[in-house]
Amino acid sequence: MTQTLTKYAGYHEAFQALESSAPKSTPPWLHELRRQAWSRFQQLGFPTARRGNEKWKYTNVAPIASAAFSHPAALPSGAQPTAGRVKQLGPSAPGWTNLVFVDGHYSPALSTQPGQAPGIVVDNLSKATVSSPQLVQPHLARQAGFEDDGFIALNTAFLQDGAFIHVADNRTAPAMINLLFVTTEGPTPKVTFPRVLVVAGKGSQVSLVETYVSPAKSRYFINTVTEIVVGDGANVEHCRLLLESPEAFHVGNTRVYQGQDSTFTSAGFFRGAALARNDFQVLLDGTGANCTVNGLYLTTDSQHVDHLIGIDHAKPHGTSRLLYKGILDGKSKAVFGGTVMVRKDAQKTDARQTDKNLLLSPDAEVDSKPSLLIFADDVKCAHGATAGHIDANTVFYMQSRGLDLATASRMLIHAFAREVIDTVQAEPLRDYLDGLFSQAMPASSLRFGGTP
């Protein structure tokens, strides 16, 4: 144990500081939860093993484990980004409910809540644990277990603030809920632990977008956990957007629980970050649950993005659609590990899983592992994976119609990305994403191998 303490001395100090400086209002159960998680993290550590570590086969987290970060205990006192600046950082639209977090802490000044609707709670987590523990406690840390994951344990140990969304049974949240997590520039690399808890009651409806962004170009480590409970017959639309600094380490864990006949739709968009991990697990624990999980990643330079997506069909008549698409440029590397599990009872499951990759540079690498684990016989399951470059015949055709090579390839890459962008229902968000990705489309490094 001494060894562990010295190894993670920085985190240990930060944990002690957090616990000792905690406000009196912090409920005892939260203290207990943090302590348990901290002790579990000390046992687990970071998953740095390079052998027999299937979950991290293609991603080495040693750079995260060996670096030192400082933990900002409260909102930065000095220069905060202005409201106007914040608006430019992420998606926004009139009428949306905006919750802004700076360095992991809720910023009331930057957040806007246009009117409260009955049965809808949208609040920051540190306040909600005090004001409405009866809504928070039954769900917090229930979906994201920290028993076997060091990163979740660490996040839970430092669980302090984040977003809490609760929609009562049969209610519909009127506006898109926009969560913006901003990491600011600082003298030393920071570590933050945002937490999101979404509880959608029976038959309710809610749409939310989580954005992780930084105006800085410097290094920091952000370790997030998002838990989403989709009650029976509820409908949750979710979007997760990563616009981190090119030097950032981002490790995000998302855990989704679905009840009977519920619908969950998610789209993830990934740009930035030196190392990004997206661990996204959905449990379909009710009959007839339906989930769609899409993702689009665009990597350049020496970025590394790692997706670990799991769809767990535990009950019959479930449907799942998993589509991830990647555009890789420079020396970047993308990892896709998808698992569709169909348990013994989950008869009549219909599951599909696809990972498609476009390699634009000779130095880019993609490692894809779309796996199926099937224990029920009356099911329809399929998966597919592709990797390649743009079809040279199509480019030739477009050139023959008078488009130059750069425009033609840009159009094709854009079309490739649109398949995922178009799955986003909210129009302002879709337009924002389309603009974001079409600006960033690489085209210059395209090379075509041989004749068509």
Partner 1 sequence: MVTPKVISRTTTSEALDQGYKWGFSIDIDSDSAPKGLNEDIVRFISAKKGEPEWMLEWRLKAFRFWLRQKQGEPAWANIHHPVIDFQDIIYYSAPSSKKDGPKSLEDVDPEVRAAFDKLGIPLNEQAKLAGVAVDAVLDSVSVATTYQGMLEKAGIIFCSMSEAVRKHPDLVRKYLGTVVPYTDNFYASLNSAVFSDGSFAYIPKGTRCPIELMTYFRINTANSGQFERTLIVADEGSYVSYLEGCTAPIRKESQLHAAVVELVTLDNAEIKYSTLQNWYPGDKEGNGGVYNFVTKRGKAQGRNSKISWTQVETGSAITWKYPSVILQGDNSVGEFYSVALVNNYQQADTGTKMIHIGKNTRSTIVAKGISAGHGNNTYRGLVKIMPSADGARNFSQCDSLLVGDQCGAHTTPYIEVRNPTAQMEHEASTSKVSDDQLFYCQSRGMSVEDAHSMIINGFCRSIFQELPFEFAMEASQLLKVSLEGTVG
Residues 37-56 contacting partner 1, CB under 8 A: 51-52, 54
DSSP-derived secondary structure for 221-274: EEEEEEEEEE-TT-EEEEEEEEE--TT-EEEEEEEEEE-TT-EEEEEEEEE--S
**360 near partner 1, rule: CB under 8 A:** yes
**422 near partner 1, rule: CB under 8 A:** no
Where helices occur in 83-149 by DSSP H, the ranges are 83-89, 125-131, 133-136
Taking the least distance from each CB to partner 1, the nearer of 407 and 445 is: 445
Choosing from 2, 362, 401, 439, the residue that interacts with partner 1 (CB under 8 A) is: 362
Choosing from 382, 419, 422, 444, the residue that interacts with partner 1 (CB under 8 A) is: 382
Q: How far is CA 393 from the centre of its chain?
A: 36
**321 near partner 1, rule: CB under 8 A:** no
Taking the least distance from each CB to partner 1, the nearer of 231 and 326 is: 326
Taking the least distance from each CB to partner 1, the nearer of 293 and 341 is: 341
The distance of closest approach from Cβ of residue 447 to partner 1 in the complex, given in angstroms and rounded to an integer, is 7
Tokens 């144990």 — which residue?
A: 1
CA dist 324 → 174, 311, 332, 334, 340 (Å): 29, 13, 17, 11, 14
Choosing from 4, 60, 347, 399, the residue that interacts with partner 1 (CB under 8 A) is: 347
Q: Which of 39, 67, 6, 73 is nearest to 153 (CA)?
A: 39
**173 near partner 1, rule: CB under 8 A:** no
Distance CA 364, CA 447 (A): 12
Distance CA 382, CA 160 (A): 41
Using only the alpha carbons of the chain, give its radius of gyration.
22
**448 near partner 1, rule: CB under 8 A:** yes
The distance of closest approach from Cβ of residue 244 to partner 1 in the complex, given in angstroms and rounded to an integer, is 25
**377 near partner 1, rule: CB under 8 A:** yes
**447 near partner 1, rule: CB under 8 A:** yes
Choosing from 23, 115, 402, 449, the residue that interacts with partner 1 (CB under 8 A) is: 449
**373 near partner 1, rule: CB under 8 A:** yes
Which distant-in-sequence residues (6+ apart) come within 8 Å of 352 by Cβ? 320, 321, 322, 381, 382, 383
**93 near partner 1, rule: CB under 8 A:** no
The distance of closest approach from Cβ of residue 49 to partner 1 in the complex, given in angstroms and rounded to an integer, is 11
Choosing from 39, 66, 131, 371, the residue that interacts with partner 1 (CB under 8 A) is: 371
**417 near partner 1, rule: CB under 8 A:** no
**368 near partner 1, rule: CB under 8 A:** yes
Distance CA 225, CA 362 (A): 35
Q: What is the DSSP letter of 379?
A: -
Distance CA 90, CA 261 (A): 32
Size of residue set near partner 1 by CB under 8 A:
41
| Burial degree of 52 (CB within 10 A; 0-12, 13-18, 19+) | exposed
- List phi, psi (to 5°) of 110: -90, -15
Q: Which stretch binds partner 1 (CB under 8 A): 41-49, 87-95, 179-187, 376-384?
A: 376-384
Distance CA 107, CA 124 (A): 9
Q: Which stretch binds partner 1 (CB under 8 A): 62-70, 107-115, 164-172, 359-367?
A: 359-367
Q: In this structure, are residues 271 and 440 in contact, taking their beta carbons and an 8 Å threshold? A: yes
- The 10 Å CB-count burial string (b at 16+, else e) for 376-389 is beebebebebebeb
Taking the least distance from each CB to partner 1, the nearer of 2 and 451 is: 451
Choosing from 87, 139, 383, 414, the residue that interacts with partner 1 (CB under 8 A) is: 383
The Cβ of residue 450 has, within 10 Å, a number of other Cβ atoms equal to 5
Tokens of 318: 């479930």
**117 near partner 1, rule: CB under 8 A:** no
The distance of closest approach from Cβ of residue 406 to partner 1 in the complex, given in angstroms and rounded to an integer, is 17
**374 near partner 1, rule: CB under 8 A:** yes
Cα dihedral 296/298/303/304 (nearest 10):
20
Taking the least distance from each CB to partner 1, the nearer of 108 and 452 is: 452
Taking the least distance from each CB to partner 1, the nearer of 73 and 387 is: 387
**370 near partner 1, rule: CB under 8 A:** yes
- The 10 Å CB-count burial string (b at 16+, else e) for 323-351 is bbbbbbbbbbbbbbbbbbbbbeebbbbbb
String marking each residue 385-414 x if it binds partner 1 according to CB under 8 A = xxxxx-------------------------
**366 near partner 1, rule: CB under 8 A:** yes
Residues 281-310 contacting partner 1, CB under 8 A: none
**380 near partner 1, rule: CB under 8 A:** yes
Per CB under 8 A, residues contacting partner 1 are 51-52, 54, 344, 347, 357, 359-389, 447-450
